[in-house]
């Protein structure tokens, strides 16, 4: 059952706390080994409609170089990368009102990239009329003013551009995101199933209208959501924005149940015995993993319930390895 969101998704309190936290993380984080071509490598500028149907997309049908030149992204190449040896690729999407750099300061996924030698890319969403960066993910989040930017094509361009410069393992391309970036991760799982092996979303949600999501095959999904999230409610709700238009999004359990059904999982969604400590301010083991059984071989559909977790959890140093621990166990057939 849905309940209305009492704050706008761009709520000054939540957003201000988020950015303050990210700035604090950025100023206190230690430097990493050579970012290699931490290329502010060209990335795309959005355009036209919101997503090209998967059946018709090919790298040759888009001007990837032009797209990324207009909208640069950052590519982190770990010291362990070996030219000519295909490496996994992770693309990360930031939250509404943040940026790729701020989100990385919070997520610290470069730690996992260094430890596991995967390529890691992140860009910036488009500025809306309120001055906040957004991804055009679902009708609920977060294109509140009807900008026709095509962020699905932006993802296509990032992948194509990285592949033009480095050896990418096509069976191990992953997407993750927070909040609006989590919505974008779910959107891409619907629209780019043939490209992506798995997604990992923190405080995101699927389309409320299931007819908008037609994956071309199975895909692994993990949704992490706090029960005390008052920005994107665990139980679902509606986004609003002053002068803009939001929409309804499903609950975290409904989001993951939808994916269980789309993947053809035959068992129930139930605790699998795994627990994690994601938020360092909450009791240890506060995150319980629920998973579907009876999914196709190699496919996992999981909901990580953070008991008492808020929209911007205080992530522990284990976060990046927890994320990669899920993503890295999945590959395309």
Neighbours of 187 (CB within 10 A): 29
- What was the pLDDT predicted at 245? 87
Instruction: For residue range 137-186, list pLDDT tens digits in order.
Output: 999 999 999 999 999 999 999 999 999 999 999 999 999 999 999 999 99
Residue 262 lies in a domain: yes
* Stretch 83-105: mean pLDDT: 97
Higher pLDDT, 60 or 95: 95
Average pLDDT (289-302) is 97
Does position 18 have pLDDT exceeding 90, yes or no? no
The pLDDT, as a whole number, for residue 90 is 98
Q: List, in sequence order, the alpha helices (H) in 229-332.
A: 252-262, 319-327
| Two structure tokens written together for 320 | 């990046």
Q: Which residues span the domain enclosing 232?
A: 12-327
Q: Is residue 3 part of a domain?
A: no
Residue holding tokens 């998973």? 291
Q: Show the DSSP H helices in 192-300 as ranges.
A: 252-262
- Which CATH number is 158's domain given? 3.40.50.1820
Nearest CA-CA partner of 194 in 171, 210, 178, 211: 171
Structural domains counted in the chain: 1
User: Is 333 part of a structural domain of the chain?
Assistant: no
Query: Any idea what DSSP says for residue 264?
Result: T
Domain assignment of residue 134, yes or no: yes
Beta-sheet strand order (sheet of 287-292)? 74-76, 119-122, 87-93, 168-178, 198-202, 220-226, 301-306, 287-292, 269-276
On whether residue 87 sits in a domain, the answer given is yes
Task: For residue 25, name the pLDDT band (cuts at 50, 70, 90).
Answer: very low
Residue 81 lies inside a defined structural domain of this protein: yes
Residue among 74, 85, 94, 83 nearest 32 (CA) = 74
Q: In the structure, what pLDDT confidence band is assigned to residue 26 with cuts at 50, 70 and 90?
A: very low
Partner residues linked to 200 by β-bridges: 176, 222
Residue 332, domain member (yes or no): no
Query: What number of other Cβ atoms are within 10 A of residue 305's Cβ?
Result: 21
End-to-end CA distance of the chain: 37
Confidence of residue 212 (pLDDT cuts 50, 70, 90): very high
Closest by Cα among 142, 161, 146 to 62? 161
Residue 6 lies in a domain: no
Whether residue 139 has a cis bond before it, omega within 30° of 0: no
231-258 per-position pLDDT tens digit: 999 999 999 887 788 899 999 999 999 9
Burial 69-101 (b: 16+ CB within 10 A, else e): bebbbbbbbbeebeeeeebbbbbbbbbbbbbbe
Res. 2 pLDDT band, cuts 50 70 90:
very low
């Amino acid at each position: 059952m849905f309940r209305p969101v009492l704050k706008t998704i761009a709520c000054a309190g939540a957003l201000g706390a988020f950015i303050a936290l990210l700035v604090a993380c950025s100023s206190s984080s230690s430097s990493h080994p050579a970012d290699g071509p931490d290329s502010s490598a060209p990335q795309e500028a959005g355009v036209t409609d919101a997503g090209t149907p998967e059946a018709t997309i090919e790298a040759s049908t888009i001007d990837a170089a032009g797209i990324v030149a207009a909208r640069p992204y950052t590519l982190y190449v770990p010291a362990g990368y070996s030219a000519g040896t295909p490496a996994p690729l992770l693309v990360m999407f930031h939250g509404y009102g943040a940026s790729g750099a701020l989100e990385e300061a919070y997520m610290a996924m470069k730690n996992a990239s260094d430890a596991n030698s995967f390529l890691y890319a992140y860009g910036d969403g488009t500025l809306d009329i309120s001055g906040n960066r957004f991804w055009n993910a679902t009708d609920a989040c977060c294109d509140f003013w009807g900008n026709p930017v095509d962020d699905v094509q932006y993802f296509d361009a990032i992948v194509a551009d990285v592949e033009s410069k480095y050896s990418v393992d096509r069976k191990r391309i992953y997407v993750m995101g927070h909040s609006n970036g989590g919505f974008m991760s779910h959107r891409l799982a619907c629209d780019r199933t043939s490209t992506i092996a798995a997604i990992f979303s923190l405080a995101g949600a699927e389309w409320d209208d299931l007819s908008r999501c037609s994956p071309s095959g199975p895909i692994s999904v993990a949704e992490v959501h706090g029960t005390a999230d008052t920005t994107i409610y665990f139980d679902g709700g509606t986004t609003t924005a002053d002068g803009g238009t939001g929409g309804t999004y499903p609950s975290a359990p409904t989001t993951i149940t939808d994916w269980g059904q789309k993947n053809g999982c035959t068992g129930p969604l139930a605790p699998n015995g795994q627990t994690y400590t994601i938020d360092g301010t909450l009791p240890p083991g506060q995150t319980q993993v629920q998973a579907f059984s009876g999914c196709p071989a190699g496919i996992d559909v999981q909901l990580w319930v953070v008991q008492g977790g808020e929209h911007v959890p205080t992530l522990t140093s284990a976060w990046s390895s927890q994320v990669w621990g899920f993503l890295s166990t999945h590959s395309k057939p």
